[in-house]
Amino acid sequence: MDPRYAFLDSFLHLMVFLLGAGIGSFLNVVIYRLPLGMSLDNPRRSFCPGCKKQIPWYLNIPLVSWLMLRGKCANCKTTISVRYFLVELLVALLFYATFRAFGGSWEQIRLWGPHVLGIWILLSLLVSGTFIDLEHFILPHQITGGGAVVGLLCSLWAPELVEQETHMQGLLISFLSAVMGLGLLWSVVELGKIAFGRLRFKFTEATPWSITESKKDEPPVFTVRLEGEEVVHQWEEIFTREKDRLVITCPNLSKESQTGNDLAWTNVTADITMDVVTVKKDAKDREGEKVAWEDVKALRGTAMSIVIPREAMGLGDVFFIAMIGAFTGWKGVVFTIFAGSVLGSVFAMVPRLIGKAEWTAKIPFGPYLAAGAALWVFYGPEWLERYMEWAHLAGR
């Protein structure tokens, strides 16, 4: 090794870890601001979520500041979520693990640099998407769609990301893998809608429910009493498609009108879409009495049964796997979906076995896809090669 690079090679390990922590600090800004529609660079400096005061640079040192301040704002003493520290630490460890697995000496940075940089970008997108999905149950298009475009460019620059040798082959396989991933999960969404697209509830006693405005000029909310507790469903959670229908069998139903023309019915079925409410007297009543939402201030009633439309998987997951495919290739897509499904099943099963099913009841699928993609980056090709060797020997 050239003696000129000896010191840089030794110092490079620390530099990579600190770089990861710094990127993790920026990702915390992305995780906090992006779902709220806030600008990522205005204000430029991070600020306390409690008092909104901007944090000076000397109190915004990755990892160190959170520990020194014991997770509190120096100004108002508001508790700062441990998530900020964990994201910085996680990204620092992921960056360093990537460097150890795929990096090399400073002298050879031109050989390993593009490949490692591409993986760092992918891991940063996975971390951002995971924590946003866990907190807000969404995967923003800036992460998925924007990430897919970046994945195409990275695969063009570093074709080894998708196991190709030439730049144009890398771009082509990246694009086809993204389309393949999108198509696979889109099929799962559509088949899941057919098989599991309705959540059914039946009650032994009439259960109160209501549909009321949450705030002026905002969609209404559906509230129903389940097992003694009021459960609130947001409008956009129920009606993700134009054909979705909320069907309620009502011993009693009343409409509070915007114009004062209040109405009441008994022993009817309310067939509700995002555009209109159809009140049917019995199964033979195909037309029913239609009430436009423009004239509805609130619907209230009791229910003996409720059918709520639902999706088997969010469309954000579909675009998330497309982004992953752009970075990892078609093998990475297949591995990620398989690994994510296995991880999701295991994490759902274990809490049920110990009587804590609520622990994973609200964990979306995005984080499992992210974990599956990370496993592919570090272990997937090796595991796949060993499996193929085993399958070859078993087939003899």
pLDDT tier for residue 231 given thresholds of 50, 70 and 90: confident
Shared domain for 374 and 345, answered yes or no, is yes
User: Which of 33-37, 111-115, 215-219 is least confident?
Assistant: 215-219
Shared domain for 218 and 356, answered yes or no, is no
SS3 171: helix
In a 13 Å sphere around the CA of 158, the CA atoms on its Cβ side amount to 21
Tokens read off for 332: 């990475």
- Asked if the model's pLDDT at residue 357 lies above 60, the reply is no
Q: Per the domain annotation, does 140 fall within a domain?
A: yes
In a 13 Å sphere around the CA of 372, the CA atoms on its Cβ side amount to 25
- DSSP line for 198-231: EEEEEEEEEEEEEEEESSTTS-EEEEEEETTEEE
Shared domain for 177 and 320, answered yes or no, is yes
Who contacts 348 (Cβ-Cβ below 8 Å, separation ≥6)?
A: 360
Contact 332, 376 (CB under 8 A): yes
Tell me which residue range forms the domain holding 276. Answer: 198-309
The number of domains in the chain is 3
SS3 16: helix
- Asked if the model's pLDDT at residue 84 lies above 90, the reply is yes
- Asked if the model's pLDDT at residue 298 lies above 60, the reply is yes
Shared domain for 181 and 323, answered yes or no, is yes
Predicted pLDDT at 27: 97
Average pLDDT score over residue span 282-291: 83
Shared domain for 205 and 291, answered yes or no, is yes
CA distances from 22 to 88, 122, 124, 171, 297 (A): 7, 16, 12, 30, 50
Predicted pLDDT at 232: 85
pTM to 2 decimal places: 0.84
Shared domain for 185 and 203, answered yes or no, is no
- Closest to 183 measured CA to CA, from 309, 328, 330: 330
Average pLDDT score over residue span 50-74: 87
Q: Per the domain annotation, does 98 fall within a domain?
A: no
